[in-house]
Structure 1
Amino acid sequence: MIRVLLAGILFVSSFAAGAEAQNSGLRRLTDRDDLLGWEAVGRLDIANGGFCTGTLIAPDLVLTAAHCALDRRTGRPFAPGEVMFRAGLRDGKSVADRQVSQIVAHPDFVANAPVSAERVRVDVALMRLEQPVSIAEADPFVLFSGSLSDGEVSGASYGRGREEAISRQRSCRILDRRQGIIAFDCYVTFGSSGSAIMAKSGARWQILSVVSAGGNIDGKPVGFGMELPRIVAELKAMLRRDAPQPQATIRRLQVGTGKSGSGAKFIRSGGS
């Protein structure tokens, strides 16, 4: 079924290009009370004028789609300072604004490749923020663990025509799940790329997948994402490996320096 649905998406559009879906169940999170618990969802403003959606999974880590993180002209990640994460943005006000300082995307993802099952499967990126967002400002989401018995999921994103505040679709459903790809009927459009598809675990929503592609088939929304745990673990390892190394500072100690003329000075454990 996955390949059949993807073929339909490719025929209609590589991403949802139609008007806002009727009866999509989207609710705009404008008031501070509405936003409570969803502050970790933010808009990614890109220097080229585009935007996507990202979600904090740690105070300094944003999860999003790889096609939001790579410059299509070069195929390389955007440079430090070219992407801004705006946590909980609503009507010009955000909980926190942070520049992105480091980006890693899956090495098998090709920025200019057409939509395919293989591309969706690896359309994941992590962005490290220049400064962390405090948990008091935005509590990061964790990846979903456990079984999903009823297939009910939820989405929260920015999108074309609703880019000034998070729109949340409280309830949508998984249509198919196999071979590392998840199909769902959550409504997605331009700007929804990179947003998290959430599943409930107890009282807390957790991240099941990331929006990679979507469209409309027979007037009904269809979105596609991927399985996350393995690929996110790989990307975290890449972040650690490629992290900029701090510059070492060398301090020269000289014999007999200081006010006392008593000779050599020694560094003791716990102080000098």
Structure 2
Amino acid sequence: MRPVAAVLALLAMAGPADAEDAAISTRQRVDIAAKPWTAVGQVNTEAYTRCTGVLVGRQLAVTAAHCLFNRATGRFLAPTSVHFVLGYDRGRYAFQTVARGIRMDPAQEGERTFQAAPRDWALLDLAEPAPTSIEPMPLAADLPTAGEAFFAAGFGRDRAFALTVAADCRMLAAPDARLIAASCGIIQGYSGGPMVDADGRLLGISVATARVGDRDVALAVPVSAWREELGR
């Protein structure tokens, strides 16, 4: 097993890949009507990108910023071009709305580098509040310790019409508390999706992944990156 420092050094040299470039791991479908998965939604855009997002307030969701970047134009999409869908399962859904505003790191320019990964988050101010029957996902106060297990959820490319969960995630490191590195296999569509602890609390959102030796390493932005924005 490679030391954590070596893994992170290799990632820094290679740069992060989109979550869609990771190897497919063992993932299972979950009940979208059961907590905490009720707060996990699809993020669909009019640029035909599809990612995952998380409800963190009655009228607020979080996802990966790169999901909102239109590579064809070199610009971020307008808020109303971003759709957020909760309870999605094989064509049925519990709630759907668009964004009325988007908040990102002021330095976010859409670049896809390892150095920029800690800025890869976006808060979606939703045009309509989610139903009171759907509770926002609570935020974890602390990051897990090295080796601690947790879950990653998303609408992966192989089962885009149903939420799946990877239960094989383990904490590797949180360098400078700005980025989570985890041994976890995630694929296309998981970008913006939650990493969730055993108590159903949000640890961070998946933003990139790489294959390092025989290990799938996922990168996530912790909730501390955007927690202060929640009160604005």
The bucket for the TM-score relative to the shorter chain is 0.7 to 0.9
Q: Partners of 2:169 and 2:208 in 1: how far apart?
A: 16
Whether the aligned pair in 2 keeps the contact of 1:45 and 1:85 (CA below 8 Å) is yes
User: TM-score scaled by structure 2?
Assistant: 0.86
Q: Which amino acid aligns with 1:236?
A: L
Q: Secondary structure at the match of 1:133?
A: coil
Q: Could you say what secondary structure the match of 2:158 adopts?
A: coil
- Is 1:20 matched with 2:24? yes
The CA RMSD measured in Å over matched residues stands at 2.3
Q: Which residue of the partner structure matches residue 141 of structure 2? A: 145
- Tell me the CA shift for residue 126 of structure 1: 0.2
Q: Which runs of 4+ in 1 moved over 6 A?
A: none
1:231 is matched with 226
The answer to whether the Cα contact below 8 Å between 1:64 and 1:124 also exists between their aligned partners in 2 is yes
TM-score, length basis structure 1: 0.75
Distance 1:230 1:15 in 2: 19
**After superposition, where does 1:31-110 map in structure 2 within 5 Å?**
33=31, 35-37=33-35, 38-74=37-73, 76-110=75-109
Residue type of the partner of 1:148?
P
5 and 184 in structure 1: CA distance in 2 versus 1, 3 angstrom threshold: farther
- Cα distance in 1 for partners of 2:104, 2:143 equals 27
Q: 2:181 aligns with which of 180, 183, 187?
A: 183
Q: Secondary structure at the match of 1:67?
A: helix
Distance 1:228-1:174 versus aligned 2 partners, 3 A rule: same
Where does structure 2 lack aligned partners over 5 or more consecutive residues? none
Bigger CA drift: 219-228 or 92-101?
Answer: 219-228
Q: Distance in 1 between matches of 2:148 and 2:56?
A: 22
SS of corresponding position for 1:193: coil
Question: Equivalent residues in 2 for 1:117-266 (5 A)?
Answer: 118-136=115-133, 138-146=134-142, 148-149=144-145, 151-179=148-176, 180-200=178-198, 204-233=199-228, 235-236=229-230, 240=232
Q: Distance in 1 between matches of 2:126 and 2:186?
A: 26
DSSP 3-state at the match of 2:9? helix
